[in-house]
Structure 1
Amino acid sequence: MSVTLTDYENRTRKAVAHYWKTLNEQSARQAKQDADRGRRSAVTGGKQMDGFCRLVNQLLIDNGLPEAHIYTSTKLELPGYFRPTKKWDMVVVYEDMLVAALEFKSQRGPSFGNNFNNRSEEAIGTGKDIETAFREKAFGASPRPWLGWLMLLEDCPASKRPVKVDEPHFDVFPEFWDTSYAQRYELLLRKLVLEKLFDSSALLLCTEAQGQSGDYTEPARDLGVKQFLAGLGAHVGKFLASI
């Protein structure tokens, strides 16, 4: 089944540029109120990943899904198994059937260590929660939904530098030795798909300077934006053909 990926590279560049533009605007506003919380507030203020919502929204429309079934700002809560609900970044529901749910996440410096652990626990928990909720018929007669996780990471010395691991009792898996946080995100996102917690994941890296104009890199081919969007487009096409 063919998938329409119209101008996805340019749209991705616009999404990356929107991320940095929004962060800078949020930081400037917060700095006037509280200089100590400026960067923290920019990262947690929301809206910086809206460009990726628009990118995926257009992909869904291009592949035949009416926009009325795409939720990006309201009605984002889905039932969980280990918790009552989880608020996703994008939800696609067609005639009481859950078609897809997506998360768009980001991380910039300087605090990569704790944030990486938090993002890892969030992704693993979210995937396991919705997988189990689906098994327990939380979504009624829905076929298995497509689940996606996209990550935008700042490309800087702190994210690319190898990080020491502590092994006081047992050895860590060897793939984690001498890895940077960027490489650890690559391993995390790949394993999320390998363990079937998500159907696809994507990892984009960009420096703050290059990101202003939308420039980005993809460190791993299997975690690229094209395959991420193509997987979702194919799922939507198959779903629409079956109803």
Structure 2
Amino acid sequence: MSLNLANYEAQAREAIKLFWGNREAALAKQIESGNQDAGWRGAVTAGKNMDGFLAMARSLVEANGLAPDNICVQQRVLTLPGFFRPTKLWDLLVMHHGKLVAALEFKSQVGPSFGNNFNNRSEEAIGAAHDLWTAYRKGAFGEDTPRPFLAWIMLLENCDKSNSPVKDKEPHFPVDQAFKGASYAQRYDLLCRRLVQEGLYSSATLLLSPREAAKDGHYRHFSELTSPKSFVTGFAGHIAAIAAR
């Protein structure tokens, strides 16, 4: 089976440039209007910052054999039932003949508040996956549904604070040795690796990019398991296998 990776490296760089460009544009617009949100919140209220990654995922679906009408990106068709809660809104769904093929979530984190946001993002990712797989086992997505492809993509600001060692409080029991002295960037990589290793996600990707990447789309990754290539090849393979049935 031949896979089409849809020139993902160039698309990823364009997505990075769009991410930082949209943040800058949203903040500048609010400053100009005199209605600036507190801190950097004004840069994220536009809600379009990760659209470049959605476009990349869409191109991978189409390039590997499924028609555009199988791709759900409008909010009204992005809801799936849960088990511990009624519903969950995803960022992109792929459907085929009424069956769930894939569910994707795109997240980002920009400083300065990395600590609380890391915990929140971790809880969201773990909870969403556990809820989806429980609903899947209970038949919420119909009978005889092949296991869908579940992906979590995180874009993290590459800066001094995200790369600095972090200390943890240990009043009762020791923290997992892997987290000791690890930066938030390293913790995100560890989170992504464990999400995949423990079977919660088919793919979990971490991209690190500085604000200056609005010009060239520069990014880096920590490990092969959490790299964009790992996501792209796994996702393309899953789509191609469904299309070939």
Deviation at 1:198, TM superposition (A): 0.5
The 5 A counterparts of 1:68-107 are 68-74=69-75, 75-107=77-109
For structure 1, the residue ranges without an aligned partner over 5 or more in a row are none
Cα pair distance change 1:212/1:108, threshold 3 Å: farther
Aligned length: 242
Structure 1 Cα separation of the partners of residues 60 and 234 of structure 2: 11
| Alignment match, 1:132 | 134
Asked whether the 8 Å contact 1:27–1:41 carries over to 2, the reply is: yes
After superposition, the C-alpha distances for 1:90-123 in whole angstroms (9 at most, x for unaligned) are 0011111000000011000111011101000000
Structure 2 Cα separation of the partners of residues 134 and 160 of structure 1: 37
Write 1 or 2 for the structure with the bigger share of helix.
Answer: 1
SS in 2 for 1:159: coil
Deviation at 1:241, TM superposition (A): 2.0
SS in 1 for 2:165: coil
For structure 2, the residue ranges without an aligned partner over 5 or more in a row are none
Residue identity (%): 48
Cα pair distance change 1:6/1:35, threshold 3 Å: closer
TM-score, normalization: structure 1?
0.96
Which has the larger displacement, 221-230 or 172-181? 221-230
After superposition, the C-alpha distances for 1:111-167 in whole angstroms (9 at most, x for unaligned) are 101110100000000010101010010000321110000110000001000000110
Poorly superposed stretches of 4+, deviation over 4 Å: none
1:65 partnered with 2:28: no
After superposition, the C-alpha distances for 1:154-188 in whole angstroms (9 at most, x for unaligned) are 00001000000110000011000000000000010
Structure 2 Cα separation of the partners of residues 167 and 29 of structure 1: 44
TM-score, normalization: structure 2?
0.95
After superposition, the C-alpha distances for 1:219-239 in whole angstroms (9 at most, x for unaligned) are 212111111011011111111
SS in 2 for 1:120: helix
RMSD: 1.2
Give the partner amino acid of 2:195: L
Asked whether the 8 Å contact 1:107–1:154 carries over to 2, the reply is: yes
| Alignment match, 1:206 | 209
Structure 1 Cα separation of the partners of residues 230 and 215 of structure 2: 24
> Which of 147, 152, 161 is the aligned partner of 1:149?
152
> Which of 151, 169, 173 is the aligned partner of 2:172?
169
Give the partner amino acid of 2:11: R
Asked whether the 8 Å contact 1:27–1:38 carries over to 2, the reply is: no
SS in 2 for 1:158: coil
